[in-house]
Amino acid sequence: MRLTKIVHADGWKFIASFAAVTVCLFLLSTTLGWLGLILTGWCIYFFRDPQRVTPVGDTFVISPADGVVQAISAVSPPREVSLSEHAVMTRISVFLNVFDVHVNRVPADGKILQRHYHAGQFLNASLDKASDLNERQTFVMQTAQGLSLVFVQIAGLIARRIRSDVEVGEEVRAGQRFGIIRFGSRMDVYLPQDVAVQVCVGQRVVAGETILADLENHGAHRVGEVR
């Protein structure tokens, strides 16, 4: 498979910059040059865009990001969102470190109804207040069942750029690539409060593959323990 197929297009300008600096470092010092080469390799690794096998199901909500489930909580949706039917929703927060795949994927089949960009701070994305204070891109979608879901790209302490490629009115599919957050970040998914969450805090999830919830499952949230 060609390298252009496994690296996100947004990464090439960074990879080229790292490579150019590496050449300059080799002219100054072999040691510095090897350090630059390692960092260039890491940059390629960071922007990798692997294929994923997405479970097929109209009611599945799929993880939009690789990372660790940091929190599951009942909260109000982001203030920029207009959702009169949901005063409180279940929020699943997935934290991405700098070694995770940062290509984001749509969590469910449906249609994009709203898109909001909020300029904010760059606090550590692992902090709960990052959902309210950090730079973010918020999407509201309607599923085939007519339910509203919200998913949010959140910049972190190192991540300073959010890119999204889907627009209001666009029909989307679960597992579809829709954007990228550069260099450490967080993704929040907001579900109707009566939907049972199928992942646990501390669990590692995979974008486009891990089922976060089934919209037809209204039982208890899944419970896990470290073993």
Question: 173 and 197: one domain?
Answer: yes
Question: 68 and 41: one domain?
Answer: no
Examine residue 224 and state whether it is found in any structural domain, yes or no.
Answer: no
Tokens 């499952």, residue located: 217
- How many domains, in total, are found in the chain? 2
Examine residue 226 and state whether it is found in any structural domain, yes or no.
Answer: no
Question: 139 and 37: one domain?
Answer: no
pLDDT of residue 70: 92
Question: 26 and 69: one domain?
Answer: no
pLDDT of residue 178: 93
Nearest CA to 81 out of 126, 141, 169 is that of: 141
pTM of the model: 0.85
pLDDT of residue 5: 63
* Residues tagged active-site: 185
CATH number at residue 97: 2.70.70
Examine residue 220 and state whether it is found in any structural domain, yes or no.
Answer: no
Examine residue 51 and state whether it is found in any structural domain, yes or no.
Answer: no
Examine residue 30 and state whether it is found in any structural domain, yes or no.
Answer: yes
Question: 131 and 88: one domain?
Answer: yes
Examine residue 94 and state whether it is found in any structural domain, yes or no.
Answer: yes
pLDDT of residue 90: 95
Question: 164 and 76: one domain?
Answer: yes
Residue 171, CB half-sphere, CA atoms under 13 Å: how many?
1
End-to-end CA distance of the chain: 38
Phi, psi of 209 (to 5 degrees): -130, -45
pLDDT of residue 12: 83
Do the beta carbons of residue 135 and residue 119 sit within 8 Å? Answer: yes
Question: Strand locations in the chain, DSSP E?
Answer: 60-62, 67-75, 89-96, 103-105, 110-118, 136-143, 148-155, 161-164, 171-172, 177-182, 185-192, 204-205, 211-214
Question: 132 and 172: one domain?
Answer: yes
Examine residue 188 and state whether it is found in any structural domain, yes or no.
Answer: yes
Per-position DSSP letters for 136-165, written without gaps between them: EEEEEEEETTS-EEEEEEEE-SS--EEEE-
Question: 41 and 101: one domain?
Answer: no
Per residue of the chain (227 residues), what is the pLDDT tens digit?
Answer: 455 568 887 778 888 988 999 999 999 999 999 999 999 998 888 888 999 999 998 899 999 999 999 999 999 888 888 777 668 999 999 999 888 998 999 999 999 999 998 876 655 555 565 566 678 899 999 998 889 999 999 886 655 578 888 999 999 999 999 998 876 688 999 999 999 999 999 999 999 999 999 999 887 788 887 88
Domain holding 178, by residue range, is: 60-214
Do the beta carbons of residue 168 and residue 114 sit within 8 Å? Answer: yes
What are 192's two structure tokens? 């109707």
Q: Quote the CA–CA distance of 141 and 64 in Å, as a whole number.
A: 13
Give just the sign of the alpha carbon dihedral 100, 103, 107, 112. Answer: positive
Question: 66 and 153: one domain?
Answer: yes
Partnered with residue 115 across adjacent β-strands are 139
pLDDT of residue 9: 79
